[in-house]
Structure 1
Amino acid sequence: MVTLRYHLVSLVAVFLALALGIALGSTSVSQRLLSVVAGDRDNLTQQIDQLTAQRGDLEASQRAANSFAASVAPAVVSGQLDQRKVVLVLASDADPADRDAVRELISHAGGTITGELDLTDAIVDPARADQIRDLTTRLLPAGAQLPSATDAGGLAGGLLGSVLLLRGQNGQNGQNGQNGQAAPDQAGAALAGLTEAGFIRPGPRPAPAQLAVILTGGAQAGQDAAERAATLARLATELDHAGSGAVLAGRSGAADATGAVGVVRADTSTSSALSTVDDVQTSMGRVATVLALREQAQGRAGRYGDAANAQAAIPGGSAG
């Protein structure tokens, strides 16, 4: 049991320790302690300098590798997408530099960009999920079908797939006899409705394509980050189902739990059909995106990049 006497003894001991510490402050004991601390500081400084130098060497090597990959990229992808039509779908956090580089590489590969669609942040906003559900039902073109799931990402992806992509693995014409699954006037009305509601940015309507690239940034931020990432992942999954295939490509962090790439990779049934790239900010990642499109056209899929849950750096590399 703690007594008053115990408290008094404890207080006295504390004051004695303080007094002793002050007394030792000017003694040789203090000097020895200071000497030890100074030695530890010097050792730590040397270690920091060594680590800084190593980091600089690694960054230089990475820049050299990226520069080399950029120089050989056109030759690596040449002819890989011959006579293939590709539409670009850009998430709100997609980097314009990634878009431009991927566009250029697709052209080097012999593919044709039919246009691009810019998504706004609203399309992954959980607060607007009910509005998306209502719009997709009202804007769905005649003859098109929405997925059986009722989540906002899947419904939005189903609607966009019906107006952006050609039907089936070989990109066959839709039942309306047009180039896509929807008649041009109905496709235009659907995109206009999504634009007016603030889910996509105004711009020219892309022509129907066989393949899609969905570009995003890194991990989502905020309290609803996981839900936003899941919505974009579901949207990309439905685009993959709608045409000959799709590739979801993001920057560093996209393969994390709150990144759309990470959400896809966490579900084996999804990642076995939808290809993902987690380092599209690099030349190697951009090459992987184009080669993954080629794989998609052949009915195959993979996980590419430098994240721990990737299987290889690029298609054709060793599996992980």
Structure 2
Amino acid sequence: MIDFRFFLVSIAAVFLALAVGVALGAGPLKGEFDQQLRANVEQLGKEKDQLRDQMEALEQSDRYRDTFASTIAPGLLTDKLNNHQVVVVALPGADKGVVKNLADTVKASGGTVTGTVQVTAKWGDATNRQFLEDLATQLVTGDVTVPNDSTTYDRAGALLARALVTKDPKAVGQADSATPTIMGAFGEGDLVNAPGDLRRGDLAVVVAPHITPDTKPQEGDDVNDAWVALAKAMDSQSLGAVLAGDTSAASSDLGALNRLRADAKASSVVSSVDVADLPSGQIAVVWALLEQTQGKAGQYGAVGTTDGALPKLSDAS
């Protein structure tokens, strides 16, 4: 907001300066009009300087906040995810830096990252929905069940979750016979990209797309239904899932976090963090994962009505 105001003040100052110059060039100006123009130009110059100072102060404050969070992070993360294995699922448009930082934060908390899976835009493309439906039908396995009224995205999400996560302690961190088949088919369909040595985790972090002013709604507006369904599937077949992103994903009507939080049923089981691009938000993701293992869910961050900055963990956590 300050950047925009700074821009407006600068433009206004330029035009006023031009107006004064033109007026002076046409002949000597006298009287109150000339004095008023000069006073306006001087005032705009002062406001411009003040806004510049505010911008610099905010930048310094942001640097301090991030440095502080990074400094105290080890103490807030130590051993939080010991004995847990986490799969990171990056949705199309997710910031690569956020994806990497979240994986690193999981490791810093004592958790193991079983793999980072990239979902492609083709998964949520409404024009590709029938292909996804046909593929999910072909891949269905006996240990994956979904309600009769489930959508294409519910069924496909359940299958992907089957390949990536499990609640069975004996199966966590292990290669699974169904995983190569499911991931191979989704990979051949250009729906996901995943490492070949993928193992199943017991927790999942799903990283939401970053929304820009140029982001356009997809045909049928199905894309966020796909992402919420996938997050729910990851949650239902593991000890818990967190949908993480930056504030754009929660503040924009086109954001995946916005859609999740608007869905009472989904948000009652899947947690979300809308500041995952910040060190403090990455800590919140780890705490939200730990809260998930306790059978709880919450919405954390800076946008809208949330459950606070961090979950309130028990003393034993």
TM-score, normalising length: structure 1 = 0.81
Query: More displaced, 285-294 or 301-310?
Result: 301-310
- 1:46/1:149 CA distance change after superposition, 3 Å: farther
CA deviations 1:55-94 (Å, max 9, x no partner) are 2101211111111111221220111111111111111222
Query: How many angstroms apart in 1 are the aligned matches of 2:100 and 2:289?
Result: 17
Query: How many angstroms apart in 2 are the aligned matches of 1:205 and 1:160?
Result: 16
Alignment correspondent of 2:284: 288
Alignment correspondent of 2:166: 166
Query: How many angstroms apart in 2 are the aligned matches of 1:165 and 1:149?
Result: 23
Alignment correspondent of 2:237: 242
Query: More displaced, 95-104 or 235-244?
Result: 95-104
Q: Offset at 1:31? A: 5.2
Alignment correspondent of 2:16: none
Alignment correspondent of 2:8: none
Work out whether 1:135 is the aligned partner of 2:125: no
1:136-151, aligned counterparts within 5 Å? 136-151=136-151
- 1:149/1:204 CA distance change after superposition, 3 Å: farther
Can you give the 5+ residue segments of structure 1 that lack an aligned partner in the other structure?
1-24, 174-178
Can you give the 5+ residue segments of structure 2 that lack an aligned partner in the other structure?
1-25
Query: How many angstroms apart in 1 are the aligned matches of 2:194 and 2:287?
Result: 30
Q: Offset at 1:172? A: 5.1
Work out whether 1:209 is the aligned partner of 2:201: yes
- 1:59/1:152 CA distance change after superposition, 3 Å: farther
Alignment correspondent of 1:223: 217
Native 8 Å contact 1:255 1:309 kept in 2: no
Alignment correspondent of 2:107: 107
Alignment correspondent of 2:189: 197
Query: More displaced, 295-304 or 51-60?
Result: 51-60
Identity of aligned residues (%): 27
Query: How many angstroms apart in 2 are the aligned matches of 1:43 and 1:100?
Result: 46
The Cα RMSD (Å) is 2.5
Q: Offset at 1:202? A: 4.7
Query: How many angstroms apart in 1 are the aligned matches of 2:197 and 2:39?
Result: 68
Matched residue SS, 1:254: helix
CA deviations 1:260-307 (Å, max 9, x no partner) are 011111122211211001111110010001110000011111111122
Number of residues of Structure 1 aligned to a counterpart in Structure 2: 284
Matched residue SS, 1:118: strand
Q: In structure 2, which of residues 243, 254, 260 is the aligned counterpart of residue 258 of structure 1? A: 254
Work out whether 1:70 is the aligned partner of 2:70: yes
Query: How many angstroms apart in 2 are the aligned matches of 1:283 and 1:183?
Result: 32
Alignment correspondent of 1:185: 177
Query: How many angstroms apart in 2 are the aligned matches of 1:155 and 1:38?
Result: 68
CA deviations 1:197-245 (Å, max 9, x no partner) are 1101253252111110011232271132853223212211221112111
Matched residue SS, 1:100: helix
Alignment correspondent of 1:302: 298
Matched residue SS, 2:296: coil
TM-score, normalising length: structure 2 = 0.82
- Match of 2:53, as an amino acid? A
- 1:148/1:238 CA distance change after superposition, 3 Å: farther
- Match of 1:188, as an amino acid? P
- 1:230/1:43 CA distance change after superposition, 3 Å: farther
1:39-58, aligned counterparts within 5 Å? 39-58=39-58
- Match of 1:258, as an amino acid? L
Q: In structure 2, which of residues 259, 266, 269 is the aligned counterpart of residue 270 of structure 1? A: 266
Query: How many angstroms apart in 2 are the aligned matches of 1:67 and 1:212?
Result: 27
Query: How many angstroms apart in 1 are the aligned matches of 2:284 and 2:51?
Result: 31
Q: Offset at 1:26? A: 6.6
Query: How many angstroms apart in 1 are the aligned matches of 2:101 and 2:194?
Result: 22
- 1:196/1:291 CA distance change after superposition, 3 Å: same
Query: How many angstroms apart in 2 are the aligned matches of 1:38 and 1:153?
Result: 63
**Greater than 6 Å deviation, 4+ residue runs:** 25-28
